[in-house]
């Protein structure tokens, strides 16, 4: 036993040095493409929200490697993410592909950090995470939609992805945001049980220790890269990163279209109850913080379009029309530029009520970049 302890004592320093070297070298071994290719990897982030930290660390390294001084950050939801198509069909990919049609010279670097289900509060938390890594948000494009401002059911939170990061990076805003759990929800909070203490310890160990080690934190990105290299060596194609195959809405078999249009998701997204566009709205609260973050910030706010033919029963309601007019006036009055895409894209370019076919995202790219660059001679 004494001999074993003595041997362990001799090898322990080497093991510690080895583990430390692995920790330091892993981030350098992960190609930027594995964490970002025209957009973030939704499936990896959905599996573990905390993987955003490694993605943003790699983004910071990429910006430094390329010595970028001017770049644009895009924050948005599934529309700017490019759903349901692949990363090659995202809006920013089309901007870079079609750059000769927009101007002269090299296209600026554009980093699209949009994700499906992102809320305005998530966008604000993401600006804090970028600032923490000294990544500039002076040039920003935001994507909002009508549904971003509908009144939330009591069980939904104003952040889907990054509530924990908001609490860590801006505890004052976390405590002051206009959101309270309903009394009904509080009444269903389970009483304390000793097992909860064990779970808390396990969660702390997982988040504060286990996932702090880079070999563990980068596991999903490393696995993705190894799979890509294996396919390359075996002359196999990479699988599509599309969330689904884009199909025009008028070619879809909706089954019972009436049921689709009456679904909870659609009714919520197109609720015609009068908007609260003041201090009581968590989305307005966070949007104001984003657009007023810096006096020198160059921000474009984009309101997504709607398939008006498919959604005609909703968009024709007086309440919806009144909300849209008030929202347009509010967003136009912010200290940022504003582009309302609604009505600018033909209905045939949609794949559902708001997402687009690839050619729709190409047209959206033209509209957004024209509005953002605002250069003389930009094609109409």
pLDDT (tens digit, 9 = 90+) per residue, 282-339?
Answer: 999 999 999 988 777 889 999 999 999 999 999 999 999 999 999 999 999 999 999 9
* Position 43 in a domain: yes
pLDDT in the model for residue 106: 64
Q: What is the mean pLDDT of residues 138-146?
A: 94
Q: What is the largest CA-CA distance in the chain?
A: 84
Q: What is the pLDDT of residue 48?
A: 86
Tens of pLDDT, residues 56-68: 999 999 999 999 9
In this predicted model, what pLDDT tens digit does every residue of 248-273 receive, in sequence order? 988 887 766 778 888 888 999 999 99
Higher pLDDT, 268 or 214: 268
Lowest pLDDT segment from 121-130, 158-167, 367-376: 367-376
Instruction: Point out the least confidently predicted range of 19-23, 161-165, 225-229, 300-304.
Output: 19-23
Instruction: Identify the residue with better confidence: 27 or 174.
Output: 174
Q: Is 53 helix (H, G, I), strand (E, B) or coil?
A: helix
Number of domains composing the chain: 1
- CA dist 325 and 315 (Å) reads 12
3-state helix vs strand vs coil in the chain, percent to 5:
55, 10, 40
In a domain, 169, yes or no: yes
Answer yes or no: is 194 within a domain. Answer: no
Mean pLDDT of the chain: 83
Say what the pLDDT of residue 364 is. 96
| Domain membership flag for residue 199 | no
Residue 317 lies in a domain: yes
Sequence-ordered alpha helix ranges (H) in 211-332: 214-217, 219-233, 257-261, 264-269, 282-291, 312-315, 318-332
- Domain with residue 156: its CATH number is 3.40.50.1110
The pLDDT tens digits for 32-84 are 888 999 999 999 899 888 889 999 999 999 999 999 988 999 999 999 999 99
380 falls in which pLDDT band (50, 70, 90)?
A: very low
The pTM (predicted TM-score) of the whole model is 0.85
pLDDT of 189 above 70: no
Residue 47 structural domain: 31-178+242-373
Tell me: pLDDT of 193 over 60: no
Does residue 362 sit within a domain? Answer: yes
Residue 15, in any domain of the structure: no
Q: Rounded to whole angstroms, how far apart are CA atoms 42 and 60?
A: 19
pLDDT-based confidence at residue 242 (cuts at 50, 70, 90): confident
The rounded distance, in Å, linking the Cα atoms of 348 and 260 is 19
CB atoms within 10 A of CB 254: 13
Domain assignment present for residue 183? The answer is no
Burial level of 69, CB count in 10 A (0-12/13-18/19+)? exposed
């Amino acid at each position: 036993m004494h001999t074993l302890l003595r041997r362990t004592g001799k090898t322990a320093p080497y093991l510690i040095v080895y583990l430390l070297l692995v920790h330091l070298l892993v981030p350098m071994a992960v190609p930027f493409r594995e964490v970002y290719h025209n957009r973030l990897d939704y499936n990896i982030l959905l599996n573990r929200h905390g993987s955003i930290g490694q993605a943003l660390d790699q983004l910071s390294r990429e910006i430094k490697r390329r010595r970028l001084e001017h770049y644009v950050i895009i924050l948005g939801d599934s529309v700017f993410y490019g759903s349901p198509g692949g990363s090659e069909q995202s809006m920013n990919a089309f901007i870079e592909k079609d750059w000769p049609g927009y101007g002269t010279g090299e296209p600026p670097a554009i980093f699209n950090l949009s994700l499906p289900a992102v809320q305005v509060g998530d966008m604000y938390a993401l600006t804090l995470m970028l600032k923490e890594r000294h990544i500039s948000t002076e040039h920003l494009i935001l994507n909002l939609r009508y549904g971003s401002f509908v009144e939330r059911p009591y069980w939904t939170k104003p952040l889907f992805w990054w509530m924990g990061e908001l609490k860590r990076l801006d505890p004052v805003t976390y405590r002051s945001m206009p959101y309270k759990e309903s009394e009904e929800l509080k009444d269903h909070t389970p009483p304390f049980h000793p097992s909860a203490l064990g779970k808390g310890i396990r969660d702390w160990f997982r988040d504060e220790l286990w996932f702090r080690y880079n070999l563990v934190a980068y596991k999903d990105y490393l696995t993705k890269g190894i799979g890509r290299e294996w396919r390359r060596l075996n002359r196999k194609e990479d699988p599509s990163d599309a969330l689904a195959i884009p199909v025009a809405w008028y070619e879809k078999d909706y089954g019972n279209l009436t049921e689709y249009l009456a679904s909870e998701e659609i009714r919520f997204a197109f609720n015609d109850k009068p908007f609260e566009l003041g201090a009581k709205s968590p989305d307005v609260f966070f949007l104001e913080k984003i657009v007023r973050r810096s006096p020198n910030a160059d921000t474009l706010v984009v309101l997504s379009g709607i398939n008006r033919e498919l959604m005609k029963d909703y968009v024709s309601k007086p309440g919806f029309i009144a909300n849209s007019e008030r929202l347009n006036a509010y967003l136009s009055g912010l200290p940022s530029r504003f582009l309302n895409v609604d009505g600018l894209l033909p209905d045939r370019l949609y794949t559902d009520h708001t997402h687009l076919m690839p050619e729709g995202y190409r047209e959206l790219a033209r509209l957004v970049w024209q509005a953002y660059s605002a250069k003389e001679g930009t094609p109409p």
